[in-house]
Structure 1
Amino acid sequence: MRAEPGRGVIRARVAVAALFFGNGFVFANVVPRYPEIKAGLDLSNAQLGTAIAAMPLGAIIVGLLASPLIKRFGSARTSTIALALMGVNVVFIGTAPGFGLLCGALFVAGSLDAVTDVAMNAHGLRVQRRYGRSILNSFHGVWSIGAVLGGFAGAGAAQAGLSLTAHLVVTGALTAAAALVALRYLLPGPEDAERAEGAGGEAERDGRGARRPVLRVAGFLALLGLVSAAAASVEDAGASWGSLYLRDELGANAFVGGLAFASLQGAQTVGRLLGDRVVRRLGDRLTARLGGALVLAGMGAALLWPSVPGTVAGFGLAGLGIATVIPAAFHAADELPGLWPGAGITVTAFLLRIGFLLPPPLVGLVADAESIRLGLVAVPLAGLVILLTAGVLEGRAASAAPR
């Protein structure tokens, strides 16, 4: 029988969940207040879009430093300090006196978010190894809850007329305080303390020297990046194009148009909160394959027979289908031997962010040339990619085995 986790491990799980919640919550408070930031700085739409694009740029450029930081300071300190700095930085976003400084603050926000993301996932996987069963999906579900509540908090503050500075000072202070309190309860010791003996060490040599294992690991990471980028592109499609498709091409009103993203995000949250039970029974690989098939079938049918209810349902099925894919990719990347602590997650996170960066303009080009409906064919195609590449993820035995 599997031993029950001790009190310290349970506290560490709660602390990691607090980090995921804070990471989802803190910046979501800023998004509903973009119109005030735009108006306060007298920005054009193009300038605001350029400033917002500084976030993924910072994440891609600086995010690669996450693994060296984890190696030097540990995932506990790296995640909590980066999240605390995110709390400080949101104040600078809200008080930036000009376009250039706003771009800089958003670049820093993306950088800190990327480092926090990798480090908290690395520490969450440490806790998961202590539990001996899948719990990572629940952390991602808590992140989604934090993002939704953060969005509501930001919208409520704006509606109530609370000053932007006061709102973000309170939000940032609460986030920083929670992060620093969480540090006290995270797991102590080296990053590989929970691994089985021999795991996570130097790359195996197969008689042909180290070259072949290095190439194999690189190929493995590339596939993990592909499967996670495909999942990310599905999520982004709901955020970027779902409302426009429903309103402009299917004639839905503004409220119903917003249901595309709400359906996807809500189903994804439920899928993540329930996903660990499914993964324990089926394994990451089969769960992801079923999820890819769900994306392919759900959005494929919605686009073949277009209707407002069918499209909302299709995005919901897509959100459910991708719920466990990115956590599974992080899990598989973290188990690769011969890498620095957090290096596998760092590379995978770097590649998946391309899934957020590249598809929107590509879908936009197709939409301008033909229609948004045709551009959204990218969503079922992403489901097909997940279905075909899920073999790189761990199967049932590996996922369920105590570590």
Structure 2
Amino acid sequence: MNNTNSYDYLIIGAGIIGLAIAKTLVEKYPKKKIFIIEKENQVACHSSGRNSGVLHAGFYYTSNSLKAKFTRDGNIEMTQFCLENNLKINRCEKVVIANNEDELKTLEELYHRGIANGVDVELISEDELTIKFPNVKTFKRALYSKNTSTVDPVEISLFLHKQLENKGIEFSFNERYITNLGNNTIRTTKHQKIHAKKIINCAGLYADKIAKDFGFSQDYTIIPFKGLYLKYTKTDKPINTNIYPVPNLKNPFLGVHYTITVDGTIKIGPTAIPVFWREGYKGLKNFNLSEFFEISMYELKLFATNAFNFRTLAYEEMKKYYKSYFISLALKMTKKIDKNAFNEWSKPGIRAQLLNTKTLELLQDFVVESDNNSVHVLNAVSPAFTSSFPFARWVVENHLE
């Protein structure tokens, strides 16, 4: 096809962010022509469909961050969306537990952040924790979040896809972005040329690459981290809530924790293992030599400078490939659970984590760059699924109008 197809909005990527931005646009501008291209054969094939499914409450983030407001509001909106559309949701709640006095200080910091963010959180005693969740153990106190839930991210994404198609939005799957031709026109693998008044880059793992074609992401690159979960396969239910350790607030990872999925399955994880190409899910599948050299170069820099304590992080994460060590991290948070029942790996995910190449810092908040012609969502990591609806509105209001 040699003709140029023209649209008002072209969205690259059909993960939850691309779908949520399309939802916002079609609600606001129902007569505009919107086209979404996706390199896979369905929506939510990468991070959006491989995350934990947790609807976070919003107490991890400082009150001046985008994540703080979007997570709090997104939790409410996504919960309502699931209830209104008969989509599965498990109101399983959550506790964050401490192991020592130092972690109690971080626990209190999380509590104060939650209160500042308008989130319903409580600091409860060890005795109160035992009454609520008998099999969970902590040191003196725990943080309790009653508004944390789990959902099925794939179910929600598929529902959104159908809903958007019914509203006239066009989708093209198995269509990959190739290059920017200028004049707000791109070349893809299927349509020779696509022109749009606004191009919106929601390409996740490849968002930085596409952004560079438009003159953006000059100081950023994606560093991939692999997340693995282990499922509990016995039929008994030794725990009935999500259990998290106190995190290291200097990096964006929350540590190995228990998640109760939407269907009641217990799983532990995730890891945050540095990998050397963007779709390094398993073995050498999807190996990309140029990505390997580029990402390895940055990871060697991080290792050499020990930026954000990368050496320790990498060492600790690589140890989690040993199943016994991985399981031992979870066992610290419960009183009694069969360690031999954690024996089924779930589908791995890759976290598309943005790195500032000048400062060698991992970006912890959302990052979006734009001009009058294009918008590039460069950092939309956890809790992006929870935050997707209010974040999408913010992108439309601040970068598309």
TM-score, normalised on structure 1? Answer: 0.22
